[in-house]
A and B are shown apart, each in its own frame.
Chain A
Amino acid sequence: MKALTWHGKHDVRIDNVDDPEIVNPRDAIIKVTATAICGSDLHLYDGYIPTMQSGDILGHEFMGEVVETGSGSTLKKGQKVVVPFTIACGSCYHCGKHQYSGCENGNPADNQDIARELYGHPMAALFGYSHMTGGYAGGQAEYVRVPFSDTGPIVIPDGVEDEKVLFLSDILPTGWMAAENAEIEPGDTVAVWGCGPVGLFAVQSAFLMGAERVIAIDHFPHRLELARKFGAETINYEQTATYDALMQMTGGIGPDAVIDSVGLEAHGLFVDNAIDQIKASTFLGTDRIHAIRQAIIACRKGGRVSMPAVYGGFVDKFPLGAVMQKGLTLKTGQTHVQHYLPGLLDAIMEGKIDTTFLISHRMPLEQAPEGYRMFHDQQNEVTKIVLKPGQ
């Protein structure tokens, strides 16, 4: 089959690889009909995530048709499913608490040591996202082996377009959980850093959860425009002093909750701090101050900090004092996708959440390398790329 494979920084290719087969009883094989490139994939593309190996198949946002099932799968051939990017067993303690991204049983034992050393605990397995998180082949491919297929994938009713439900795999639940972690109360003002897919779904979700105002922050006019369409007020951080603006816009109180949906590339705060230094010596160093620092500084006393954005290593100059002195609550984590799927599918079917607005480009799988380049270089216009294998 054809698959998008990683070969190093800014080097992704379409390769011919073996088709996946059933390996464990609870597996299913999915024939991918639609798959997307994610902001998280850009972290891989830019070489920020360790434990990648040449030839790894990328992609964690995908859906498709069930073509094969193991003896323990509850899926049926021909069903259309969306697959969560987190691989969760459904039977461990964490799954029992619906903390699916804490699942202990999807990540092969030999891959658990690295995260154990870095974080104190092994990570749950994810599709197409380095060997620290399991080394599973991802969904930017014609076929995928899906473990625990009786627990993760959600069956989509007949006749529903792929594009409407594809984002259930990651960014919609991620934006939703980001808003939920902001613990929004009626009358609240929520500030959202980053108007990528995650930020834009966080904006929609925050309003649905009762926020009175949402202030969206980015520097891409087109992305800010999308946020405005959902009712957000906007701040372009290239033209505006973000902290001062937020203070005035909230009558000197500060936002009640802040959401960082930017992540480690806002300002290269990953294990590789050489990047931090390079950027600090350019104008980016003062202008594009790291979103999470700014969010914490702007957040009102006693407020909530929600951080869906991905970080991998250590962060310098983290304003821990502000967290303590202002009595802030910080909530974060990889999304517990399985927990949110039924409710969000309903919300889509009832028209409460708009998903397709996000898609700016569609292309066959074969053009995925070009898609990565575009998503990386032209973030203003390219909001989301959907790849369609076999077309």
Chain B
Amino acid sequence: MPDIADRPYDDAPVSTSKDQDAAVRIATAEAVEDRGDSFAGWAVTINRPSAELYAWWRDFSNLASVMENVEAIDVLDDKRSHWTVKAPGGTHVEWDAIVTEEREGELIAWASAEGADVANSGRVTFRDAGARGTVVTATILYDPPAGVIGKLVAKLFQREPNIQVRRDLARFKQLMETGEVATNAMNPKQREEQAA
């Protein structure tokens, strides 16, 4: 998040700080709504124009095709979307996400609405990188709940939170650059089994 001022130590993205408390404090003061105390962030460079990537992302119903475990994203109105995420044993967790800030071709920020199963907020920025395309940076703040859902969230975010963000961005990059999401499945049936 290069646009967040007042970094206490250096010029590095705030989500990479070793002092998570300070990082959360700075981020919530300036860039994302306060929805938790756990941070995840990653960046990819995608060889496509920022306008195209932004437009694809801004249509939130697209995102389920690159996000693991996300079952459906229903767009309710211009700002509001409803997220349904797979949980073990055929259950789901759900929340409404509200767009809190957007700048065409540059930035989308969101926060979960009241009553979310997993409170979260974050932003995705699209920065023009010349001949290399666009740097897409995702920063997510979330509140890992206790109990069963907590376990699910831990699973969702794998061993460490960045892994899930990284995988989702990797799939986004694949789809945007090649028109498809890579799979080693031998046939469509196997692909479905892998996704289940």
For the complex, give the distance between the alpha carbons of A136 and B181 in Å.
14
Query: Known contacts A23-B191, A91-B177, A93-B133: does B186 contact A109 (CB below 8 Å)?
Result: no
A25 touches B163 (CB 8 A): no
- B-contacting 9-mer, from A44-52, A99-107, A263-271, A357-365: A99-107
Chain A nearest Cβ from B65, distance in angstroms: 12
User: Are A109's CB and B171's CB within 8 A?
Assistant: yes
- Of all chain B residues, the one with the shortest Cβ separation from A107 is B182
Q: What residues of chain B lie closer than 8 Å to A18, measured between beta carbons?
A: 186-187, 190
Q: List 17 A-B contacts (CB under 8 A).
A: A18-B186, A18-B187, A19-B187, A23-B187, A24-B182, A25-B180, A72-B179, A91-B177, A105-B173, A105-B178, A109-B68, A109-B166, A109-B174, A113-B166, A125-B182, A145-B187, A148-B178
User: How far apart sit A135 and B178, CA to CA, in the bound complex (Å)?
Assistant: 19
Residues of chain A within 8 A (CB-CB) of B79 are none
Residues of chain A within 8 A of B171, CB atoms compared: 109
Does B132 contact A105, Cβ atoms closer than 8 Å?
Answer: no
Q: Tell me the number of A-to-B contacts counted with CB atoms below 8 Å.
A: 90
- A93 CB contact (under 8 Å) in B132, B187, B190: B132
| A112 contact set on B, CB distance < 8 A | 166-167, 170
B132, A137: Cβ atoms closer than 8 Å: no
Most chain A CB neighbours (cut-off 10 Å) among B163, B167, B168, B174: B174
Q: Binding site of A, secondary structure by majority: helix, strand, loop or mixed?
A: loop
A116 neighbours in B (Cβ, 8 Å): 166
Whether, in the assembled complex, A388 has its beta carbon less than 8 Å from a beta carbon of chain B, the answer is no
- Contact indicator A23/B177 (Cβ below 8 Å): no
B188 within 8 A of A: yes
Query: Are A109 and B178 in contact (CB-based, < 8 A)?
Result: no
Closest to B172 in A: A109
**Which residue in B180, B186, B191 is a CB contact (below 8 Å) of A137?**
B186
B47 touches A91 (CB 8 A): yes
Query: What residues make up the interface of A, taking CB atoms closer than 8 Å to B?
Result: 17-21, 23-26, 72, 89, 91-93, 96, 104-113, 116, 122, 125, 134-137, 145, 147-148
Q: How far is the CA of A164 from the CA of B123 in the complex (A)?
A: 55
In the bound complex, what is the Cα–Cα distance between A331 and B170 (angstroms)?
28
Contacts of A105 in B (CB 8 A): 173-174, 177-178, 182
Which residues on B sit within 8 Å (CB–CB) of A109? 68, 166-168, 170-171, 174, 181-182
* The 8 A-B residue pairs with the shortest CB-CB distance in the complex, in nearest-first order: A21-B187, A109-B170, A109-B167, A24-B180, A135-B184, A89-B178, A20-B186, A105-B174
Q: Is B185 an interface residue (CB 8 A)?
A: yes
**Which B residue sits closest to A113, measured CB to CB?**
B163
Name the residue on B nearest A17 (C-beta): B186
Which of A21, A25, A111 has the most C-beta atoms of chain B within 10 angstroms of its own C-beta?
A21
Cβ of B28 < 8 Å from any Cβ of A? no
* B17 contacts A by Cβ under 8 Å: no
Contact pick for A23, options B68, B163, B183, CB 8 Å: B183
B45: CB under 8 A from chain A? yes
Give the distance in Å from the alpha carbon of A266 to the alpha carbon of B143 in the complex: 51
Query: In the complex, which of the residues A26, A110, A122, A125 contacts B179, with contact meaning CB atoms closer than 8 Å?
Result: A26
**Chain B residues whose CB sits within 8 angstroms of the CB of A110 once the complex forms:** 68, 167
Distance of A81 Cα from B26 Cα, bound (Å): 56
Contacts of A113 in B (CB 8 A): 158, 163, 166-167
List, in ascending order, chain A residues with CB within 8 A of B174's CB.
89, 104-105, 109
Residues of A within 8 A of B167 (CB): 109-110, 112-113
A21 touches B178 (CB 8 A): no
Q: Which of B177, B188, B191 contacts A92 (CB 8 A)?
A: B177
Give the docked Cα–Cα distance between A374 and B177 (Å): 43
Task: List, in ascending order, chain B residues with CB within 8 A of A21's CB.
Answer: 186-188
Bound: A92/B133 CA distance, A:
10
Q: With A18-B187, A91-B47 in contact, do A26 and B180 touch (Cβ < 8 Å)?
A: yes
> Which residue from B45, B173, B179, B186 sits with its C-beta under 8 Å from A25?
B179
New A-B pairs, 13, CB < 8 Å, besides A23-B187, A92-B47, A113-B163: A20-B187, A21-B186, A25-B179, A91-B178, A92-B173, A93-B47, A105-B173, A108-B181, A108-B184, A111-B184, A113-B166, A116-B166, A137-B186
Which of B133, B168, B173, B187: most chain A CB closer than 10 A?
B187
Q: Which of A19, A24, A112, A136 has the most CB of B within 10 A?
A: A24
CB distance from A276 to the nearest CB of B (A): 30
